[in-house]
Amino acid sequence: MFFRNRTNPQFLIILTCLLLSGCSVISVAYNNVDTLIRWTASDYFDFNASQQTQFDRSLRRIHAWHRKEELPKYAMLCTEMAKRVEAGLTSADLDWADNVVEERRIFMAQYISGDLAAVLSTIKTEQIDIMNMKFAKENERFRKEHLDGTPEALEKKRVKKSIERIEDWIGGLGADQMIKINAMLKTLPQNSEYRYAYRITRQQMLRELLGTGLSKNELEIGLRDWLENWGDGRTSEQKQIWAEWTNRFRLLILELDAILTPKQRLYLVKKLHDYARDFIELSAS
């Protein structure tokens, strides 16, 4: 919850509002997220005028639906999580959080797949080439961020970013807490190489899906499967590494929860309630 980073397709950018660092930022970001998605999609595919019109129309409808129907669910999720944090987190609470977030992710994937297919079934070979070039740039950026450098330097950067995220959620850390959290974070397996290989696989799956000349209905089924089953494409080794990382991450969350001060717990609870309030206000606007 504090700093989990899941890889999601660009078309699910709306969901990243949940991960923004400041409650006041959410309103600005959410009210402009349609513009962000529009720019991102155009950057990836260089839509022609007809495709852009169709994409924009679908995006407006999806954004309106998401505001009205999904944001209240996010608010309830945050409120419920606040109650659980206040009482002290358990493994069952983490199970609950994973399940409800995954439920919303899958529902979102199902909801948008038809609109995506309607546009992406019309793209041409040269537009897929543009997507490939964009993927290459993003992959190079990933390598520079997560893979270039010595293992020691990469771990130091990873730990630093994780601590920044933790402090954003719970406020400042004491000296003893900092030592313990540093030690906890270093127990997480390094998985950047596997993440990189996996993203390449997922991109290839999308390329094959878009380049096979499927009808709109066939492409909708394929896109829904690609979006829903986000773990597809992992090798046995990647699945093992991911499972190990997930288990260690869960233990880290519970260990971190156990050393929170009353002030830090209150800070986190208040932040979750602030998120819930912002989601409700956005839903009604």
Best CA proximity match to 63, nearest among 122, 6, 98, 12: 12
Where is pLDDT greater, at 211 or 19?
Answer: 211
The total number of structural domains in the chain stands at 1
Return the amino acid letter for 179.
Answer: I
Give DSSP secondary structure letters for 12-58.
Answer: GGGGGGGG-S-HHHHHHHHHTHHHHHHHHHHHHH---HHHHHHHHHH
Would you say residue 16 has pLDDT above 90?
no
Where is pLDDT greater, at 38 or 170?
Answer: 170
pLDDT band of 27, cuts 50, 70, 90: low
For residue 252, is it within any domain? Answer: yes
For residue 268, is it within any domain? Answer: yes
**Cβ(178)–Cβ(275) below 8 Å:** no
For residue 208, is it within any domain? Answer: yes
Full residue range of the structural domain in which residue 79 is found: 10-284
pLDDT tens track for 96-133: 998 888 898 889 889 999 999 999 999 999 999 999 99
> What's the confidence (pLDDT) of residue 280?
94
For residue 1, is it within any domain? Answer: no
Rounding to the nearest 10 degrees, give the CA dihedral for residues 205, 8, 102, 80.
180
Where is pLDDT greater, at 6 or 98?
Answer: 98
Where is pLDDT greater, at 88 or 14?
Answer: 88
Would you say residue 234 has pLDDT above 80?
yes
For residue 3, is it within any domain? Answer: no
Residue 58 CA from chain centroid, whole number: 22
